[in-house]
Chain A
């Protein structure tokens, strides 16, 4: 019996059967490999977080133990820089930065690491490079104003150019750089040789040939560290309700708690408005 291979029915049935078989096969493989893949992703994230405090070169087997050893605590902070109660390390760890930046109510995870008896505060950053997303982790010293270490990675930046942001040579430039100048949040500039940030911030050298990625790193740091401003100010020993004007006025009131609160009432709104900008390239910068 010869089947007419070019009849419509044969073609439709053939295509349908093929799609079902392939679909089932892929679904099966996905299910079978999922646990291992999730484990890899979690371990990779742990490695990245540890890289921010200069713990590197770990094998897959060591990662989890080392992570537990260094990272003592994880929590969210709210827009006033206060620790949100009832959030565990796992909750902070599970925050998906990509979704987080798009959502209206941004979560601000912080990981606390202990290095040589000193606390370091690690915060995640996420932004846009040239070809795709870039992200990283920035560890801030417990003085709340200088960077202890930074780690960056990317999805598909050009090898040898933009992709250099994941190299230690680039990342170690950030060590001990200050994100605050005279008590004001300035972030860190990523500048071409011979240029300086206009706002007087500290800066590192950009990657030659990787201009857009470098600019992406600068924007990412600016946007993603800013929401933590109140939290950092608290670390510096200031009062958590932050805002420079508020800060100064509050000091005048001496130990009067009520005064403190009243003066800063309008601040939370301001803080709320800022996080939304994170991750979105600054429209002005894009036009240049």
Chain B
């Protein structure tokens, strides 16, 4: 069993584009709208999701043979919830400012459908290593979209990136204005839709047939 067999590679790379959780599976949209008004929270949120997703995938994969099928969802929830609380506590202890910024959103990782989806669809049927790769891959796929959306929203909505002013003052002097609508959730949805549009037009095999 090679560490990077074709199957494992697929588990890692597919979610980045061909099987992206946000763009193709349309999962985790709720948090995509919530945390992408600024770039920094989006990045931290992405990293947190990667950690929680990879770890919960591994744990569920390790105990998958012992889990009674009737209560497997509950078991998955407990594992995810415990990990999220740990992430939250660690952030409060060692990265207080970030934890303040993310506040409720960390807790909301629990409700991110990507997590339950991956646990159900992958970790329950695969070994720990493949599950780990799958978790990292899906987490990254989610993070990439988060960062792209947050990039446009912060740039056009606030004129800053990571809190630094990037749109020069003379633009404002000549009548340019930040677009307040970009900061509101509806524009996140439209931005995501635009990304999906670009993504589908470049991947013909993802397009649904019209009949």
Contact surface of A with B, Cβ cutoff 8 Å: 5-6, 10-11, 14-15, 18-19, 22, 25-26, 29-30, 33, 36-37, 40-41, 43-44, 132, 155-156, 158-161, 208-209
B68 near A10: Cβ-Cβ < 8 Å:
yes
A160 near B183: Cβ-Cβ < 8 Å:
yes
A160 near B71: Cβ-Cβ < 8 Å:
no
Q: Which residues of B contact A6 (CB under 8 A)?
A: 68-70
Q: Given the complex of chains A and B, what is the CA–CA distance between A229 and B100 in angstroms?
A: 32
- Which partner residue on chain B sits nearest A35 by CB separation? B93
SS class, residues of chain B in contact with chain A: helix
A159 near B89: Cβ-Cβ < 8 Å:
no
Q: Which residues of B contact A159 (CB under 8 A)?
A: 37-38, 41, 183
Contact surface of B with A, Cβ cutoff 8 Å: 37-38, 41, 66-71, 74-75, 78-79, 82, 85-86, 89-90, 92-94, 96, 100, 103-104, 157-158, 180, 183-184
A160 near B75: Cβ-Cβ < 8 Å:
no
Tell whether A36 pairs with B93 under 8 Å between CB atoms, given A18-B75, A29-B86.
yes
A33 near B75: Cβ-Cβ < 8 Å:
no
Q: Given the complex of chains A and B, what is the CA–CA distance between A209 and B74 in angstroms?
A: 41
How many residue pairs at the A-B interface have CB separations less than 8 Å? 73
- Which partner residue on chain A sits nearest B75 by CB separation? A18
Tell whether A15 pairs with B74 under 8 Å between CB atoms, given A36-B94, A160-B158, A161-B183.
yes
Q: Which residues of B contact A19 (CB under 8 A)?
A: 78
B183 near A158: Cβ-Cβ < 8 Å:
yes
A5 near B78: Cβ-Cβ < 8 Å:
no
In the assembled complex, the CB of A50 is this many whole angstroms from the nearest CB of chain B, namely: 15
Q: Given the complex of chains A and B, what is the CA–CA distance between A11 and B73 in angstroms?
A: 13
B90 near A158: Cβ-Cβ < 8 Å:
no
Q: Given the complex of chains A and B, what is the CA–CA distance between A10 and B68 in angstroms?
A: 8
A33 near B38: Cβ-Cβ < 8 Å:
no
Q: Which residues of B contact A161 (CB under 8 A)?
A: 180, 183-184
A37 near B37: Cβ-Cβ < 8 Å:
no
Q: Given the complex of chains A and B, what is the CA–CA distance between A11 and B183 in angstroms?
A: 47
